[in-house]
Amino acid sequence: MNGPVVVTTTLPDPVLDRLRTAGPVWTPPDPGPLDRGALLTSVPGAAAIVATLNDRIDAEVADAAGPGLRVVANVAVGFDNLDVPALRARGVEVTNTPGVLTDATADLTFGLLLAVTRRLGEGERLLRARTPWSFQLGFMLGSGLQGKTLGIVGLGQIGRAVARRALAFGMRVVYTGRNPAPAPVERELSATRLPLADLLATADVVSLHCPLTEGTRHLIDADALATMKPTAFLVNTTRGPVVDEAALATALADGVIAGAALDVFEHEPDVHPGLLERDNVALAPHLGSATTETRTAMAMRAAENVCAVLAGAAPLTPVPIR
Ligand code: GLV
Ligand code: GLV
């Protein structure tokens, strides 16, 4: 008999029903996130933990759960909130949700990119403030995307989906990554691999799609921003700490780059005040995967991973070894 499946947030009913086929399910009284103390007191005896990126699941949590813990299923593709080595050292399977959120996140990336380059947020604020305006040829001009170069940092599934959209917008694609993408992918996307410094110096839009690791924390710092074109835009829909947010606020204030589109923040849910006050920044509250269809698919994938492991099978989508 397995211990309970501890779920740290509210999940759709069909997903809870699926989890109940694996064992009793504990859910929090409100959507959370659970604070650290509540997390630690909810896990003792758990066979599985279904977590979100708000939950830091590390050795302390695994030890609080006890030796019956068999799987931690993150409802996210990113898993920087999990101490994977500590969990695996305790024989705990660790899973994420790749694939099911690729298109939703790529769509949101383009939505934010258009929001900043075409000044959509600024225009909407103007209307809602009931500011007088009229159509004029020179009014609120933005920057076009056609013929521009998109620089993708991390050509994984989401980076590739963003690249496909960029091609449809008439952009040229360059990318940087630890390894070259497979040749058929490079061909499909007509994408050239560049060292990061060259990508930053040539791209009109730099879009971040690498995971957050110790190697990518503050990848985009003051020095990196200084090598970008003054007409370039930075888009971040991966994890906030990939960008040094204070350095970005300074760069935007100094005109080092033209603008930024951000779905994620270094100290979520806080946003650097220097970004909040700028019109050339498009902001969203971590909505990359936030469609009903995608969030349901993510939660169901996590449930399938839990059910597989608790039935003694291999998980569908274990996190990759880095
Ligand atoms: C969301 O940010 C995710 O990693 O899925
Ligand atoms: C703009 O509204 C146009 O008609 O060109």
Amino acid at 306: V
What is the per-residue pLDDT for 116? 98
What is the per-residue pLDDT for 2? 85
Going by C-alpha positions, the residue among 267, 209, 53 that lies closest to residue 249 is: 267
Identify which ligand lies nearest to the alpha carbon of 139. Answer: 2
Determine which one of 193, 217, 278, 286 is catalytic: 286
Ligand 1 centre to CA of 298 (Å) is: 10
Determine which one of 165, 188, 268, 278 is catalytic: 268
Residue nearest to atom 4 of ligand 1 (CA): 78
Ligand 2 centre to CA of 234 (Å) is: 29
Residue nearest to atom 1 of ligand 1 (CA): 76
3-state SS assignment for residue 283: strand
Pocket test for ligand 1, best of 53, 158, 216, 237 (most atoms within 8 A of CB): 53
CA distance between the termini of the chain = 33
State how far the Cα of 152 lies from the Cα of 132, in Å rounded to an integer. 39
Q: Quick one: residue 140, left, alpha or beta (phi over 0 = left, psi -120 to 50 = alpha)?
A: left
Q: Quick one: residue 131, left, alpha or beta (phi over 0 = left, psi -120 to 50 = alpha)?
A: beta
Residue nearest to atom 5 of ligand 1 (CA): 76
What is the per-residue pLDDT for 233? 99
Ligand 1 atom nearest residue 298's Cα = 5
Pocket test for ligand 1, best of 77, 158, 298 (most atoms within 8 A of CB): 77
Kind and range of the H or E run holding 38 = helix 36-42
Task: Determine if ligand 1 sits within 6 Å of the CB of residue 117.
Answer: no
Is residue 30 within 8 Å of residue 8, measured between CB atoms? no
3-state SS assignment for residue 208: strand
What is the per-residue pLDDT for 272? 98
Residue 239 catalytic?
yes
Computed over its alpha carbons, how large is the radius of gyration of the chain? 21
Ordered domains of the chain (ranges, CATH): 5-100+292-310 (3.40.50.720), 102-283 (3.40.50.720)
What is the per-residue pLDDT for 51? 98
Place of tokens 């209307």: 127
Residue 267 catalytic?
no
Is residue 228 within 8 Å of residue 206, measured between CB atoms? yes
Task: Determine if ligand 1 sits within 6 Å of the CB of residue 211.
Answer: no
Residue 286 catalytic?
yes
Per-residue pLDDT of the chain (322 residues; tens, 9 = 90+): 789 999 999 999 999 999 999 999 999 988 878 999 999 999 999 999 999 999 999 999 999 999 999 999 999 999 999 999 999 999 999 999 999 999 999 999 999 999 999 999 999 999 999 999 999 999 999 999 999 999 999 999 999 999 999 999 999 999 999 999 999 999 999 999 999 999 999 999 999 999 999 999 999 999 999 999 999 999 999 999 999 999 999 999 999 999 999 999 999 999 999 999 999 999 999 999 999 999 999 999 999 999 999 999 999 999 998 7
For residue 60, the Cα-to-chain-centroid distance in whole angstroms is 25
**Would you call 15 exposed, middle or buried from its count of C-beta atoms within 10 A (0-12, 13-18, 19+)?**
buried
What is the per-residue pLDDT for 40? 98
Identify which ligand lies nearest to the alpha carbon of 102. Answer: 1
Neighbours of 184 (CB within 10 A): 8
- Segment 113-164, tens digit of pLDDT: 999 999 999 999 999 999 999 999 999 999 999 999 999 999 999 999 999 9
State how far the Cα of 266 lies from the Cα of 246, in Å rounded to an integer. 9
Task: Determine if ligand 1 sits within 6 Å of the CB of residue 156.
Answer: no
Pocket test for ligand 1, best of 52, 95, 101, 238 (most atoms within 8 A of CB): 101
Task: Determine if ligand 1 sits within 6 Å of the CB of residue 116.
Answer: no
What is the per-residue pLDDT for 148? 98
Is residue 234 within 8 Å of residue 213, measured between CB atoms? no
Task: Determine if ligand 1 sits within 6 Å of the CB of residue 207.
Answer: no
Determine which one of 239, 272, 295, 301 is catalytic: 239
Q: How far is CA 154 from CA 32, 177, 236, 273, in A?
A: 31, 5, 12, 28
Going by C-alpha positions, the residue among 161, 51, 121 that lies closest to residue 276 is: 121
Percent of the chain with pLDDT over 70: 100
Give 111's strand partners. Answer: none
What is the per-residue pLDDT for 120? 98
Q: What are the DSSP calls for 240-257, one per residue?
A: GGGB-HHHHHHHHHTTSS
**Residue 86, phi then psi, degrees to nearest 5:** -65, -40
Task: Determine if ligand 1 sits within 6 Å of the CB of residue 53.
Answer: yes
Quote the pTM value: 0.96
State how far the Cα of 63 lies from the Cα of 44, in Å rounded to an integer. 8
